[in-house]
């Protein structure tokens, strides 16, 4: 994978996040799986020794107050919005989060009219595709696919191939939310069509088992490798991560004795740290260890995003590379 200065484009949706506090009140924020990964990738890259990493979030938003507020949040986290068009009159999606006593969360989504559903639609200028084709890394998830039309997915596949043809890498998380699909079968067909265009897969075993019914992590890895994915890091929750690549298969254990407050965005944080570590020259198992470490930090904190840390001037400079 490219090391040193790198350009990473993350394609997805950012929504209004409403977290049920359990006492009749709620906390308002913003999040979405791919944006969370972009924020944690930018955060991790600032802490590593490699050259500057330009992280941009590719989506569509409206021009309402909440959309403006979420875009300000992206920049606060060191994430650019150069290729995130604003459509006047459109609105963001929204999701509600409830946590149980173990910190496990359930989601309720309200996104049928989300502006992000226009991603790669007929209104999106072709100049965006051309610009993104020069990315060193292009990252997206199955949730991204679930909000796209069939035509938009075909356009995305053309972009994936253009990125790879120029020497870039495509990274994919088969993050599955049943509410985004007509059926597991639809998700299975769409994801299976994407995998031949993917270099690195970062799935969660529990998600892929719902869609593909893999017996275990080994079966999941074999299926992905057979589809042409060269590097696989399968998230196993408290058991850690199974990494399968040209170097063989390695089980990287999770951090032990972590007090779980909220598991929201743990997988997204893993992905961000994993990508940053690989860009910094770490081996796949080393990148998985970095991912496990950040995920352990995130599950000890309420909400999807850790508070921003670092020199504000440095974060600002990261947006101008």
How far CA 219 is from CA of 134, 224, 241, in Å, comes to 34, 9, 14
pLDDT of residue 318: 55
Within 10 Å of residue 280's Cβ, how many Cβ atoms?
22
Residue 321's pLDDT band (cuts 50, 70, 90) = very low
Residue ranges of domains in the chain, CATH in brackets: 6-318 (3.40.1190.20)
Mean pLDDT for 282-298 is: 97
- Give pLDDT, residue 312: 60
pLDDT (0 to 100) of residue 319: 61
The residue-averaged pLDDT of 108-130 equals 93
pLDDT tens digits along 246-270: 989 999 999 999 998 888 899 999 9
Q: What pLDDT is stored for residue 315 in this prediction?
A: 60
Q: Is 81 a catalytic residue?
A: no
Lowest-pLDDT range of 9-13, 276-280, 310-314:
310-314
Reading the block at residue 265, the tokens are 């965005």
- pLDDT tens profile 210-219: 999 999 999 9
> What are the backbone angles phi and psi of residue 44, rounded to the nearest 5°?
-65, -40
Q: Which residue has the higher pLDDT, 35 or 102?
A: 35
User: What's the average model confidence in pLDDT over 163-173?
Assistant: 98
Tokens of 175: 């993050």
Contact status, residue 48 vs residue 176, Cβ threshold 8 Å: no
Catalytic residue among 151, 268, 280, 311: 268
Mean pLDDT of 270-293: 97
The pLDDT value recorded for residue 310 is 64
- Per-residue pLDDT, averaged over 259-286, amounts to 94
pLDDT at 3: 59
- What are the tens digits of pLDDT across the range 18-43? 888 888 898 888 999 999 999 999 99
Residue 145 to residue 297: CA distance in whole angstroms: 28
What is the DSSP code string of 248-298?
Answer: EEEEEPPPSS---S--TTHHHHHHHHHHHHHHTT--HHHHHHHHHHHHHHH
Please provide the average confidence, as pLDDT, over all residues in the chain.
92
Query: For position 309, what pLDDT does the model report?
Result: 72
Can you state the percent helix, strand and coil of the chain, rounding each to 5?
A: 40, 20, 35
């Amino acid at each position: 994978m490219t090391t040193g200065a790198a350009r990473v484009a993350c394609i997805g949706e950012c929504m209004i996040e409403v977290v049920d506090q359990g006492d009749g009140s709620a906390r308002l924020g913003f999040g979405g799986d791919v944006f969370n990964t972009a924020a944690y990738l930018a955060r991790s890259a600032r802490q590593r020794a490699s050259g500057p990493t330009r992280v941009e979030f590719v989506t569509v938003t409206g021009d309402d107050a909440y959309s403006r507020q979420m875009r300000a949040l992206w920049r606060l986290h060191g994430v650019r919005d150069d290729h995130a068009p604003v459509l006047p009159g459109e609105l963001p999606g929204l999701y509600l989060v409830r946590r149980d006593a173990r910190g496990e969360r359930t989601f309720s989504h309200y996104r049928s009219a989300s502006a992000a559903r226009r991603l790669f639609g007929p209104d999106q200028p072709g100049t965006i595709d051309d610009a993104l084709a020069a990315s060193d890394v292009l990252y997206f998830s199955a949730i991204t696919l679930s909000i796209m039309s069939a035509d938009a997915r075909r356009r995305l596949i053309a972009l994936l191939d253009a990125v790879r043809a120029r020497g870039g890498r495509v990274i994919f998380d088969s993050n599955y939310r049943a509410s985004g699909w007509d059926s597991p079968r639809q998700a299975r067909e769409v994801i299976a069509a994407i995998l031949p265009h993917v270099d690195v897969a970062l799935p969660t075993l529990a998600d892929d088992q719902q869609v593909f019914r893999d017996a275990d992590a080994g079966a999941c890895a074999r299926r992905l490798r057979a589809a042409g994915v060269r590097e696989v890091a399968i998230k196993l929750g408290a058991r850690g991560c199974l990494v399968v690549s040209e170097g063989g298969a390695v089980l990287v254990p999770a951090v032990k004795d972590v007090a779980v407050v909220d598991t929201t965005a743990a997988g997204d944080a893993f992905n961000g740290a994993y990508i940053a570590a690989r860009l910094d020259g770490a081996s796949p198992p080393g990148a998985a260890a970095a991912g496990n470490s950040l995920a352990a930090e995130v599950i000890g904190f309420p909400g999807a995003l850790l508070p921003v840390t670092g020199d504000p001037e440095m974060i600002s400079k990261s947006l101008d590379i």
